Amino acid sequence: MDKNVAWKRIPELRNILEYHNKRYYQQDDPEISDIEYDRLIRELQDLENQYPDDDLASSPTSRVGAAPLAKFASVTHPSTMLSLANAFSPEEIIDFDNRIKRLAKVDCVDYIAEPKLDGLAVNLIYEKGIFIRGATRGDGITGEDVTSNLKTISSLPLKMRQDSGKAIPSFIEIRGEVYMESKPFKKMNSRRVEEGEEPFANPRNAAAGSLRQLDPKITSRRPLNIFLYNVGEVKGIRLSSHWEVLQALKSWGFPVNPLIEQAKDIQGGIFYFEKIGKQREALPYEIDGVVLKVNDLALQAGLGAVSRNPRWALACKFPATQETTIVKDIIVQVGRTGALTPVAIMEPVNVGGVVVSRATLHNEDEIIKKDIRIGDTVIIQRAGDVIPEVVKVIAAKRTGTEKEFKMPTKCPECDSEIVRLEGEVAHRCVNMSCPAQLKEHIRHFASRGALDIEGLGEKVSAQLFDAGLIQDPSDLYFLNKDQLLALDRHGEKSAQNLIDSIKSSKTPLLDKFIFALGIRNVGERTAKLLATRFGSMENLINARIEDLTTINEIGPEIAQNIVQFFHEPKNKAIMAKFSKAGVEPQKKAATANELLQGKSFVFTGTLANMPRNTAKEIVESLGGSIHSSTTSKTTYVVAGSDPGSKLDKARLLGIKILSEEEFLKLIDR
Ligand code: IVH
């Protein structure tokens, strides 16, 4: 085709294809056959190959074109993705409003009320109106780059529309929820069953599973939708209210939930909560509550956040879903630290869309307190993501054949003695080499928050252990492919993949590695604090109790656990094996020193977690700068306790104010 003709045909084809995408995915009413659609896509692909132009990134071909990935890249969100505090009653909603009125010294606050969709939160980046990257929320600071998968969601504009609405910002982070409607979900699930595949438990899992799988072609066949409801960092335009944000999003062509309303005061918010509660069952998608947000963005900024939750927004949750079922058995699981957890095995029952057959009973005291017996009819409850729990026993249904549960005196895995230490609720297996503990240890080491070794889940960890190939996590680095090939279920490809992913985990981030070691009471947060303070494994191994307890959140008990851990001869040997295998934890990701590039900080008030000097060093090591007074050029004012006039000035100038927690999040501590 001649160049001039092609340049007319390319935009025309893009138009036509976007139109058919909408008919197919959004209106569920296709006008052309799949074959015809493919023909148009191919025609466009051919022309684009010959005559590439600037709009390639937003072309419909980019929705279907990407090749499968080996692994998601992890990306740091330009600004932290916070989560929401929950309220379960109108009283708690009123408390929320009172707190804001008190802090902001106002009589009435106006809110925006939105349905709270049960899906997967994502962060989208648009530069000069073009969709550049999209990521899952992850831990709020870093998520997974799922750009290619997001592009397959046809209702998501790849290019922002500029109508009469708000001007296109030079840079913007847009947040929203990827979800699946109930009807297409059911249809998809029955097709899966017909084709011999596992059905998804609920639309939320289906949406998350579809977005977080590596082949965009598969994602493109899943009926995903998206609603956008917030913005993060914005450059080049001014927005002053949340309502204005939502209107701007709409004018740019983003799907915004049409049920969102303005509420002129908290009574309006409560009214909305009750109204949406009544509509809940009739909606085409699942919601688990409503979200109330302070409308005024300057007020939002002034209110800031406590820990991960902004003070300016609240998730008002509908009551948890409850069901009745029968406890068929109570089994005991042995965890990584040897703790025994009793688990109720129940007659499977559908609780608000999820089939539940197990519930943790936590410990013996809990069973005694609730008087749960094998054979009992119980009420179980599931709220949001939390593990199902037994609310209570329906004693009236007892027949007298129910059996009381007894904590075993011997470990169900290794037959060693079980003890209950003073002051602890848990029973523990005393055998340090209990196979259940060792397997769990290896699984933990390879798990997501730890070294994230792909292909090394519970089953494979146990298989390697049972085959005698590994005793502890350091043995992983000495495995070879032939050993794996000799095992069941491992072909050439999967064996090679596993060897590769073990190999690529040899330079973990220091904090992930510390967490992966599974030291008692050292969770992800403590591991981060330790990595920051000690900077290397060697320093941490040599740390004394008094060094460790200088960290605010580490008391004598955790310090003792850490010191003991590294003194244990067995652990010393494991650490030596890691070194021998060439496992070298890294202090920070390679790009970390650019994290705060060009950002200027002003500190006011006292920080609880570190001296100001340390904070200063960290900011500078990440490329940021520190100043003594707030000016219009300041990027962030970090407010500790008892802040001074620098904070007032920041409010006046509309500078972003960070609480200490937000600051720690920002610097990834
Ligand atoms: S606003 C700081 N709005 O709820 C504000 N979140 O519990 C953060 N969610 O991670 C989010 N619908 O996945 C917001 N209309 C809505 C929402 C919503 C659902 C989810 C989102 C978020 C979680 C927080």
If you average pLDDT over residues 196-213, what whole number do you get?
A: 84
- 234 lies in some domain: yes
Q: Are residues 454 and 570 in the same domain?
A: yes
pLDDT at 29: 67
Using CA atoms, how far apart are residues 41 and 154, in angstroms rounded to an integer? 14
Residue with tokens 């993501």: 385
Atom of ligand 1 nearest to the CA of 83: 24
Q: How far is CA 11 from the centre of its chain?
A: 38
| pLDDT grade for 203, boundaries at 50, 70 and 90 | confident
Which DSSP letter does residue 25 get?
Answer: I
Per-residue pLDDT band at 590 (split at 50, 70, 90): very low
Regarding the beta carbon of 84 and ligand 1, being less than 6 Å apart is answered yes
Asked if residue 220 and residue 284 are part of one domain, the reply reads yes
User: What angle do helix axes 203-211 and 182-194 make, rounded to 10 degrees?
Assistant: 70
Asked whether residue 85 is assigned to any structural domain, the reply reads: yes
Q: 288 and 335: one domain?
A: no
Q: What is the CATH number of the domain that holds 162?
A: 3.30.470.30
Q: Which of 3, 71, 105, 116 is catalytic?
A: 116
Decide if 22 is catalytic. no
Note whether 489 and 507 are same-domain residues: yes
Q: What secondary structure letter does DSSP report for 237?
A: S
Residue with tokens 């590039």: 597
Å from CA of 464 to ligand 1 middle: 40
In the three-class reduction of DSSP (H, G, I as helix; E, B as strand; rest coil), residue 57 is classed as helix
Q: Is residue 479 part of a domain?
A: yes
Same domain, 216 and 82: yes
Kindly report the protein residue whose alpha carbon is nearest to atom 23 of ligand 1.
83
Does the residue 570 lie in any domain? yes
How much distance in Å is there from the Cα of 315 to the middle of ligand 1? 8
Domain boundary among 546, 581, 616: 581
Q: Which residues pair with 334 in a beta bridge?
A: 340
How many domains, in total, are found in the chain? 5
Q: Determine the distance separating the centroid of ligand 1 and the alpha carbon of 294, expressed in angstroms.
A: 14
Mean pLDDT of 332-341: 88
What's the confidence (pLDDT) of residue 26?
A: 60
Residues 197, 274 share a domain: yes
Residue 591 lies in a domain: no
Whether ligand 1 lies within 6 angstroms of the CB of 204 is answered as: no
Q: Dump pLDDT digits (tens) for 263-321.
A: 999 999 999 999 999 898 789 998 989 999 999 999 999 998 887 889 999 999 987 77
341 and 362 in contact (C-beta within 8 Å)? yes
* pTM of the shown model: 0.55
Q: Cα separations (Å) of 212 from 185, 195, 606?
A: 17, 21, 41
> In whole angstroms, what is the distance from residue 511 CA to residue 514 CA?
5
Q: Are residues 290 and 335 in the same domain?
A: no
pLDDT band at 504 (very low <50, low <70, confident <90, very high): very high
Q: Are residues 604 and 576 in the same domain?
A: no
Tokens for 367? 């069973």
- CA-closest residue to ligand 1 atom 8: 83
Q: Is the CB–ligand 1 distance for residue 245 below 6 Å?
A: no
In whole angstroms, what is the distance from residue 372 CA to residue 656 CA? 51
Q: Which of 456, 446, 474 is nearest to 573 (CA)?
A: 474
CATH of the domain at 447: 1.10.150.20
Residue 342's DSSP bridge partners are 332
> How crowded is residue 228: how many other Cβ atoms within 10 Å of its Cβ?
22
Q: Is residue 15 part of a domain?
A: yes
Q: Are residues 313 and 336 in the same domain?
A: no
Give the integer Cα–Cα distance in Å for 597 and 420. Answer: 52
Enclosing domain of residue 614: 600-666
Residue linked to tokens 């029968």: 326
* Res 307: pLDDT: 73
Judge if the beta carbon of residue 291 lies within 6 A of ligand 1: yes
Question: How many A from CA of 245 to the centre of ligand 1?
Answer: 15
Would you say 227 and 176 are in contact if contact means Cβ atoms under 8 Å apart? yes
What CATH number is attached to the domain comprising 635?
A: 3.40.50.10190
Residue with the bigger pLDDT between 409 and 352: it is 409
pLDDT digits (tens, 9 = 90+) for 152-182: 998 899 999 987 778 999 999 999 999 999 8
Residue 213 in tokens: 């799988």
Q: Is 249 in the pocket of ligand 1 (CB under 6 A)?
A: no
* Residue of higher predicted confidence among 590 and 157: 157
- Considering only CA atoms, which residue is closest to atom 18 of ligand 1? 116
End of a domain among 268, 283, 317?
317
Please identify which residue in the block is written with the tokens 């590294």: 566
Q: What is the CATH number of the domain that holds 37?
A: 1.10.287.610
Mean pLDDT of 532-545: 92
Atom of ligand 1 nearest to the CA of 137: 10
Residue 383 has pLDDT above 80, yes or no: no
Q: What is the mean pLDDT of the chain?
A: 89
Same domain for 284 and 139: yes
Percentage of the chain surpassing pLDDT 70? 96
State what percent of residues in the chain have pLDDT above 90.
51
Is the same domain home to 388 and 474?
no
- What CA dihedral angle connects 147, 149, 151 and 155, to 10 degrees? -130
CA distances from 399 to 278, 311, 344, 374, 377 (A): 38, 50, 19, 12, 10
595 belongs to a structural domain: no
Ligand 1 centre to CA of 84 (Å) is 7
Residue 245 within a domain: yes
Whether 575 and 553 share a structural domain: yes
Question: Could you tell which of 230, 286, 306 is best to mutate to test the pocket of ligand 1, judged by most ligand atoms within 8 Å of the CB?
Answer: 230
- pLDDT: is 432 or 365 the higher one? 365
pLDDT for residue 242 is more than 90: yes
